[in-house]
Structure 1
Amino acid sequence: MKRNAVTCSRTGLLLLAVLTLTAAAPARAGTWVHGIEGTRGFQLWVPTGYQADTPLPLVVALHGCFQNPSQFAGLSRLNEKADAEKFLVLYPNQATFANPTQCWNFMLVLNQTRGHGEPALVVGMVEQVKRHYAVDARRIYVGGVSSGAVLTGTLLACYSDVFAAGMIGAGAMYKAATTISGTGFAMLFGSIYHPDDRGRDAWVCSGRPRHTVPVLVVHGTKDSVVDIVNGRQATRQFLQTSDYGDDGVANDSIRPVATQVTRATVPGGRAYTVEDYVYGGSLVARHIEIQGMDHAWPGGDSRYPFADPSGPDGTSIMWDFFRQHTRN
């Protein structure tokens, strides 16, 4: 019995190793690849036309609560965009044992620092993908919706040496709350912390870098889950982070004042306002407010929850912003 048990154990370990290698190995183009990093799984979309000798941009896409990678991919149509524009998409998956609603635990202090918790797991996934696929390390981006958007803010804050730009969709600023009870208040009324203070905290979390942190913030004016003030706080917070990163001090070299404001309307759909913050010839931040939109992904596929088909195409907006930025 002991011998059989040992044999079974060894067989199980061998099978696990084979599965892990299969998950990490390059697959044919235009398909899903599944992998594991620590205690979390992930899905990678390898676009049609992928060539192992041609480095591609990588977009990390973070789903929201009550979602998984496949659902977020369907909602956003991000894989279709990846096929058309030629980039890889990494979808980390929140485990139900970590949060029964599959929300990212952005409010826990462990997950608000560099080298720990969920942010470190996501960066570990990025490194795993880089080891097995042709990734342009200068063009790695991160974007998310809802709790995934707040985790995006943490990744931008604490790993600005990894990500060239990010998108916060229906989310909040870095360390908007540091407790579960504080999170409820922040989502409904905005953070009690000043965005300028959190802007400095974000700069410090990445080791006081000397570069800006480009951010796109998209929010609906009728968001009933995460009040619109959170989007405004996130924009100001990252502008302050970039003000520090620009020259090492907070001296308004990058100011929280839009340099250009445009308004547009989706034919037969929603109106929206775009505020651009351009400094030194670079688009440092873009803040978009969509009139009448609730807690949703704009332009999303209506077959999935949290879609607002009448909004502008959030996926195109995100990619258009990302491709303007390359990390030096």
Structure 2
Amino acid sequence: MSVTRMVSALSRAAVGLCVVFAVLAAAPAQAGSWVHGSYSSVWGTRSFQLWVPTGYQPGEKLPLVVGLHGCLQNPDQFAGLSRLNEKADAERFLVLYPNQALFSNATQCWNFMFSVNQERGVGEPSLIVGMVQWVKSHYAVDERRVYVGGVSAGAVMTSILMACYSDVFTAGMVGAGAMYKAATTASGSLYAMTFGSIYSPDDRGYDAWACSGRPRRTVPVLVVHGTNDNVVNPINGTQTVRQFLQTNDYGDDGADNNSVSNQPTRVVNATSPGGRDYTVRDYVTGGVLLLQQYEVKGMGHAWPGGDPAFPFADPAGPDGTTLMWDFFKQHSR
């Protein structure tokens, strides 16, 4: 048996074991409450939390949002920072929060910089997708409306998931993050966060399309970044936009032919209720908003409009959670 087939067989066998483990760890909860669980495969074990919104009725198919925390965070902190559970209660969707393990990264960063986590079917992204499948098997999920969004390291992992699992996730949000394969080593990651990736966004756009198997589908992505981010250089936001525009140029018709333009169709300047100026760039193709970029003036490494009781909040900014959900709900498979 080839190594590829052997890994595939082991993965299939492990999935069955993982589901049993998760069922034992995470019995279904009442509406408007947490479900805590753990998911395991040949690629490791990670815990998760699932928010079941108020009013959930078994059998009623709801959208699912995967929320990915950043470094020095956990699901509770990201949920508090973003107020995503409150939005889920109001708009009626499930929220899955995967949790990075301390034994895998002492600062709880997702290990987006390593090649084992940058391809389909392996590493940490495969664990997150496994959790999604678990939720689908235990709750009524509208498979046409499964989304993923994150901040910082969680945002870079979002880029990987949107690149390599565009058949699973309908749309994504990259908040203070970076493009797919912005770095492939730990030292390269430090350089990319400080100065921007050394790699071409156009080349990475092709790589992202290839990671999902060169599909004929588009990948809607919202990119949000602060102009004063001194942790992840704002150029990473611009590179992320360019990369996913290129991915969509391939995805709409299978060719690099500028059928998806890298020029915005609309640019709007506005001010948040908290006083932050920001610029919005829309990239529309065929009547579909494929890419949207929010450039928040003066914001550092933060979640805009976040709860100031939690780290990495910029309460003066526009409400990042509302921006994310408003973008997501425009897209259905």
Which TM-score tier does this pair reach, normalised by the shorter chain?
over 0.9
Q: Is the 8 A contact 2:273 2:318 kept in 1?
A: no
Answering whether residue 301 of structure 2 is matched by residue 295 of structure 1, we say yes
Matches within 5 A, 1:70-149: 70-149=76-155
* Cα shift at 1:269: 1.6
1:150-189 pair list within 5 angstroms: 150-189=156-195
Counterpart Cα distance in 2 of 1:42 and 1:204: 29
Structure 2 residue corresponding to 1:62, chosen from 68, 72, 76: 68
Tell me, yes or no, if structure 1 residue 266 matches structure 2 residue 280.
Answer: no
Matches of 1:301 and 1:244 in 2, distance apart?
A: 39
Give, as a single letter, the amino acid of the residue that structure 2 aligns with 1:252. N
Distance 1:17 1:159, change over 3 A: closer
Q: In the alignment, what sits opposite 1:317?
A: 323
Partners of 1:18 and 1:215 in 2: how far apart?
34
Unmatched tracts of structure 1, length 5 or more: 1-15
1:115 is paired with a residue whose SS is coil
Quick one: which amino acid aligns to residue 34 of structure 1?
H
Q: Is the 8 A contact 1:254 1:279 kept in 2?
A: yes
For the residue of structure 1 that corresponds to 2:144, the secondary structure is: strand
Aligned equivalents of 2:22, 2:171: Cα separation in 1: 30
Task: Return the letter of the residue paired with 1:47.
Answer: P
| Letter of the 1:37 counterpart | Y
Question: Which of 281, 284, 301 is equivalent to 1:275?
Answer: 281
Tell me if the contact between 2:19 and 2:134 (Cα under 8 Å) persists in the aligned partners.
no
Following TM superposition, by how much is the alpha carbon of 1:176 offset from its aligned partner in structure 2, in angstroms?
Answer: 0.2
The 1:268–1:314 alpha-carbon spacing in structure 2 relative to 1, beyond 3 Å, is closer
Q: Aligned partners of 2:274, 2:136: CA distance in 1, in Å?
A: 42
Q: Compared with structure 1, are the counterparts of its residues 247 and 77 closer, same or farther at alpha carbon in structure 2 (3 Å cutoff)?
A: same
**Contact map agreement 1:187 1:227 (CA 8 A) in 2:** yes
Quick one: which amino acid aligns to residue 254 of structure 1?
Answer: V
Aligned partners of 2:146 and 2:169 also within 8 Å: yes
Summarize deviations over 1:203-260 as a string: whole Å, max 9, x none.
0000000011000000000000000000000001001000000100000000111000
> Secondary structure of 1:95's partner?
coil
What is the TM-score of this pair, normalised by structure 2?
0.92
Asked if 2 retains the 8 angstrom alpha-carbon contact of 1:24 and 1:128, the reply is no
Q: TM-score, normalised by structure 1?
A: 0.93
Distance 2:64 2:282 in 1: 24
Q: Which residue of 1 aligns with 2:29?
A: 27
Contact 2:64/2:95 (8 A) holds in 1? yes
Q: Are residues 18 and 198 of structure 1, via their aligned partners in 2, closer, same or farther at CA, if it must alter by over 3 Å? A: closer
Contact 2:21–2:39 at 8 Å: present in 1 too?
no
SS at match of 1:103: coil
Displacement after TM superposition at 1:57 (Å): 0.2
On the 8 A contact 1:187/1:230 being kept in 2, the answer is yes
Partner of 2:211: 205
Preserved CA contact (<8 Å) 2:22 2:39: no
Matched with 2:332 is 326
Counterparts of 1:19 and 1:181, CA distance in 2 = 36
Q: Unpaired runs of 5+ in structure 2?
A: 1-17
1:36 partnered with 2:42: no
Find the aligned partners of 2:20 and 2:178 in 1 and give their Cα distance.
40
Displacement over 3 Å in runs of 4+: 16-20, 22-25
Whole-Å separation in 2 of the counterparts to 1:197 and 1:29: 45
**Identity of matched residues, %:** 71
1:304 aligns with 2:306: no
Where do 1:223-262 residues align within 5 Å? 223-262=229-268
Shift of the 30–200 alpha-carbon distance from structure 1 to 2, 3 Å rule, reads same
Q: CA deviation at 1:24?
A: 3.6
Considering only CA atoms, is the larger Rg found in Structure 1 or Structure 2?
1
1:10 equivalent in structure 2: none
- The amino acid across from 2:121 in the alignment is G
Shift of 1:200: 0.1
Give the letter aligned to residue 64 of structure 1: G
> What's the Cα RMSD here?
1.3
